[in-house]
Structure 1
């Protein structure tokens, strides 16, 4: 049986750092599993205080810094980097643009990597299907088809829903704390599953080392699954507000996207408003079945909104 004696994480952004912290703390890694991260040479050499801090933390954790550029390097070049690792976990997201996730998967297979966790830390792409408002999702289905078409490399897909922090991202527009407003995507009964980056890292680590071994399947996790009505109610209760409630219907959002087809935020709003493949029952998730603690919506809000005073003055 493969032992995951060497693990390469791709990317050291929000999720990559969370993944590396969780992996580094695991007894199997402390017991001898080698841990590495692929980052651009410019990141390793960066004089920016944030990057320097991250690189110093990774070195202190015993993580090897492997220089590489997923967008610029060829499939063959990436395969040459991946080949010495038993497990590769992609934490790069969509920032590399169209085609990068499929290129990474091809390089993993060419290198003969025994086990691969692709960047699928999001929605249920199978349920959403092809031709959704977010065109990058079609590439995620291409990656799944490629991995399912072969038997040499084990794969594990971890479906997490939306990052919890993104639900509150001002530019996304669902929660507008400055104006004490919540916009429901689709309807107030539309649901969304959310998980924090820290929990995704922790739960993926548990999946990596789970016994019996998990392979060739989609694993669902969730910090919470809520409707937009429950979200608005939670904000009212915790922050002592009466938020304005505005519905952004599917026709409205798809119309806005048609007028601004290159806008990524409009693509995401339209997808989540449709309510398909973006939410699942928390009781049926890996973390619930294993009894693993996660941060639900209320806990995230308490830490990030209430404790940090990031909320408007209560209305009279």
Structure 2
């Protein structure tokens, strides 16, 4: 691992306070506070009142402990304004997701570098974009590959990518259409032996905090984490045993999904299904992960289901 001593916890910016941002804040805040550091959170317009107080109850507890909040619209802010804003921070952790639209992640990355931010954790909390490469059929994946290229072509900003696979909950999202518990079926994306790596947002928050504070610090590296790596066949057996009712099993082949995509090119969830049906880059062995090597326990799919599915 590429390492240097000391981790600077002053002037940390966390971008986004959605499901992942909140999980990161819950894990990071007590550790950074104990080290005398400070965190600012970037939220969407309308998420704060009186220029400082978050509207969201889950964020008010942080404001009460001195955390600062800023709001602006990522999709409309100018490059110059973004650079000026980022220049106030030493570390930026990007939990903003894809909500601001295509092109936002490259725009943020370029602004972070131009602003001279010392350390950047980009929005790469997903699959192995180095393996997926360009042309997966999912434009946001292409953009994620481009973000990595931009980061690797410069030396001024240190970066750390945390590869997490998909959120465990996304596997059970009816719109994603892999496991649909209500309708009682599971669709194997690409085949029953195809695998997927999943991690819960809580574990991502906990592991990102450990990776950020690792001393000597981690520099210019992709760090793999995982709650679980599971095949669709294993997943179907789990769903059968936990749901206590027969689950219909279907295979959505890569060919059938790609054929469907030609008819519905704007269907985002269909694009995700087709990308995950590729198999390669969507999973990695648990033994390869930071949490496995460090002996940090994470929630696997079975534990997640027992907690979230009655």
Normalised by the length of structure 2, the TM-score is 0.94
1:61 deviation in Å?
A: 4.2
Deviation per residue, 1:14-51 (Å, 9 max, x gap): 1111111111121x4323111110113311139xxx94
1:68 deviation in Å?
A: 2.4
Check if 1:92 corresponds to 2:96.
yes
Structure 2 contact 14–41 (Cα < 8 Å) conserved: yes
Q: Distance in 2 between matches of 1:275 and 1:52?
A: 38
Q: Which residue of 2 aligns with 1:54?
A: 58
Q: Which residue of 2 aligns with 1:312?
A: none
Q: Distance in 1 between matches of 2:245 and 2:280?
A: 30
Q: Distance in 1 between matches of 2:157 and 2:238?
A: 43
Q: Distance in 2 between matches of 1:66 and 1:146?
A: 26
1:260 deviation in Å?
A: 0.2
1:66 deviation in Å?
A: 1.5
Q: Choose from 9, 17, 23 the match for 1:4.
A: 9
Structure 1 contact 175–182 (Cα < 8 Å) conserved: yes
Q: Which residue of 1 aligns with 2:220?
A: 216
Q: Choose from 166, 172, 175 the match for 1:171.
A: 175
Q: Choose from 180, 187, 204 the match for 1:183.
A: 187
Match of 2:46, SS state, is helix
Q: Distance in 2 between matches of 1:134 and 1:198?
A: 26
Q: Which residue of 1 aligns with 2:305?
A: 301
Q: How many residues align?
A: 302
Alignment of 1:149-168 (within 5 A): 149-168=153-172
Where structure 1 has 5 or more consecutive residues not aligned to the other structure, the ranges are: 307-316
Alignment of 1:49-88 (within 5 A): 51-88=55-92
Q: Distance in 1 between matches of 2:181 and 2:71?
A: 40
1:55 deviation in Å?
A: 3.3
Q: Distance in 2 between matches of 1:129 and 1:196?
A: 24
- Larger RCO: 1 or 2 (CA < 8 Å, sep 6+): 2
Deviates more, 1:97-106 or 1:37-46: 37-46
**Aligned residues: CA RMSD:** 1.4
Match of 1:41, SS state, is coil
Normalised by the length of structure 1, the TM-score is 0.92
Match of 1:136, SS state, is helix
Q: Which residue of 2 aligns with 1:269?
A: 273
Deviation per residue, 1:115-145 (Å, 9 max, x gap): 0000000000110010111011111111111
Runs of 4+ in 1 over 2 A off after TM superposition: 28-31
Q: Distance in 2 between matches of 1:71 and 1:58?
A: 26
Q: Distance in 2 between matches of 1:84 and 1:2?
A: 17
Q: Choose from 18, 32, 37 the match for 2:36.
A: 32
Check if 1:205 corresponds to 2:188.
no
Structure 1 contact 159–220 (Cα < 8 Å) conserved: yes
Q: Distance in 2 between matches of 1:234 and 1:221?
A: 22
Where structure 2 has 5 or more consecutive residues not aligned to the other structure, the ranges are: 1-5
Q: Distance in 1 between matches of 2:112 and 2:286?
A: 31
Q: Choose from 228, 252, 269 the match for 2:256.
A: 252
Q: Which residue of 1 aligns with 2:18?
A: 13
Q: Distance in 2 between matches of 1:291 and 1:61?
A: 31
Q: Which residue of 1 aligns with 2:131?
A: 127
Structure 1 contact 11–92 (Cα < 8 Å) conserved: yes
Q: Distance in 2 between matches of 1:260 and 1:61?
A: 48
